[in-house]
Amino acid sequence: MSEQSHDILNDREYRQTMIKPYLDQGLWVITCKANIPGIHKNLFYTHLILSYYQPLLDALKPIDKWRHEGSDGETLVYVFKDGNPQQMKNQMVSWEETKPYGRLVDIDVYSGLSGSIRRKSLRRCLLCDNDAFSCGRNQTHPLKELLAKIDQIALEDTQKLLLACLDAAIMDELNLDPKFGLVTPISNGSHFDMNYHTMLSAKDAILPYFGQMFAHGWQAHHEEQLFQKARSIGLEAETAMFQATKGINAYKGLIFNLGLMSSAFAYVITHQAPLKTMFPTIATMTKNLIKDFEEPKTTAGYEAYLKYRTMGARGEAMNGFPTVQQLIPMLNDFNDLTLLKVLIEAIKMTEDTVLIRRAGSYDMAKKIQSWFFNIDVSDSEALMQLTKRCIEANISFGGAADLLVCAILYCRLAKTFAF
């Protein structure tokens, strides 16, 4: 037996001796670990999968919990006093069969003298129709094939979770009303050329491209390579958006921002880094964007840069989303009042190049921002009046709305994954 295999067995034994005193006291225990074959157990998949299961298991209200780290891979250990261990085992089996990464996780329930409660049915192998135990014992499949399958499942399941968070974040913002000239379910705001349905079609058209950017980030080795690819996929997303909206620019800024976040999210996962390192990753990815301002362009962003030296969305990205980072702690929940409050903060903080263009000058944009200084979000009449004023002045806050969506996305990811 190799030294590593020996360490793995020792680690398993150590885990059992840690659990035993609790069982002796009549308590019961759940352990959760990633099911990674081979001798290297602490791959990034382990970290990712446990980060997903940790909030779910935390919600079961254990009396004690810890994260055990050893040669057998990280393991979450939870101790319970009340409840029915057999029922819990049934629930955990259904998690293994239906939840994201379920096929890659082992959730064991230990109780009483008998120790681990057995599953009623054998688990199926990842690669064939036989049971996983026999394939493991007979070493039916090469390790490389098993790891490739694990990579595929982990990538696809994370992609689905990311897309659900992205969809929810865009809808959280879109469904807010009243909204100061932005499109809502019942108002076109200051936009003559788009309505709620235009936004929905645009959203559905662009979502799959964030999945592609994420998949690319999963394989990228350094941040600049990550950015180049994300940018080219972003152009495809723009084309798809214009097709869906018949030429209306509904979400171009959002494609840029959410594309960066989707790519950086993958990079953070595969580098086993904390979620908040997404922001320095974005700064590194976009550091060469300054070159964009060296060549003349006809966009609102370039015009604003020439006239007022403001770099808008590009500046926000190159600095690692400082405004988004300031908005995140204000998002305690996703209720309308909270979202509106955070949107107002975003409007006050953002150097929005779209606003500058619509307002006609930098000074006018600053003046418009001052309308928001003393607004009370619980005063619906005041919100309606301010919205009316924005629509009459034909202004909108697309840049601020984009940053709100980014902050919501971050918070939704942080709720889904505990890393």
Binding site for Zn ion (CB under 5 A): 125, 127-128, 130, 135, 140
Write down the least CB distance from residue 37 to Zn ion, Å: 11
Write down the least CB distance from residue 149 to Zn ion, Å: 10
| Ranges of H-type helices in 175-298 | 196-219, 223-245, 252-270, 278-285
Plot region of 141 (φ>0 → left; ψ -120 to 50 → alpha; else → beta) = beta
Give the residue with the Cβ less far from Zn ion, 140 or 325. Answer: 140
Give the residue with the Cβ less far from Zn ion, 120 or 137. Answer: 137
Give the residue with the Cβ less far from Zn ion, 139 or 378. Answer: 139
Write down the least CB distance from residue 129 to Zn ion, Å: 8
Give the residue with the Cβ less far from Zn ion, 127 or 171. Answer: 127
Write down the least CB distance from residue 135 to Zn ion, Å: 3
Token pair recorded at residue 59: 């919600």
Of 281, 282, 306, nearest to 293 by C-alpha is 306
Write down the least CB distance from residue 105 to Zn ion, Å: 18
Token pair recorded at residue 219: 């394989």
Helices 398-416 and 143-174, interaxial angle, to 10°? 140
| Ranges of H-type helices in 74-189 | 85-98, 132-137, 143-174
Give the residue with the Cβ less far from Zn ion, 102 or 189. Answer: 102
Write down the least CB distance from residue 141 to Zn ion, Å: 6
Report yes or no: 214 and 263 within 8 Å, Cβ to Cβ.
yes
Give the residue with the Cβ less far from Zn ion, 128 or 290. Answer: 128
Write down the least CB distance from residue 127 to Zn ion, Å: 5
The CA distance from 313 to 402, in Å, is 9
Give the residue with the Cβ less far from Zn ion, 127 or 364. Answer: 127
The CA distance from 239 to 303, in Å, is 23
Give the residue with the Cβ less far from Zn ion, 97 or 145. Answer: 145
DSSP string, 207-229: HHHHHHHHHHHHH-SSHHHHHHH
Encoded amino acid at 189, one letter: G
Residue, CB closest to Zn ion: 125
Q: What angle do CA 170, 172, 178 make, to 5 degrees?
A: 115
CA distances for 331 relative to 100, 215, 278, 345, angstroms: 26, 28, 18, 11
Give the residue with the Cβ less far from Zn ion, 153 or 359. Answer: 153
Write down the least CB distance from residue 349 to Zn ion, Å: 55
Write down the least CB distance from residue 133 to Zn ion, Å: 10
What sign for the dihedral angle of Cα 164, 169, 170, 174?
positive
43-75 burial code (b ≥16 CB/10 A, e <16): bbbbbbbbbbbbeebeeeebeebeebebbbbbb
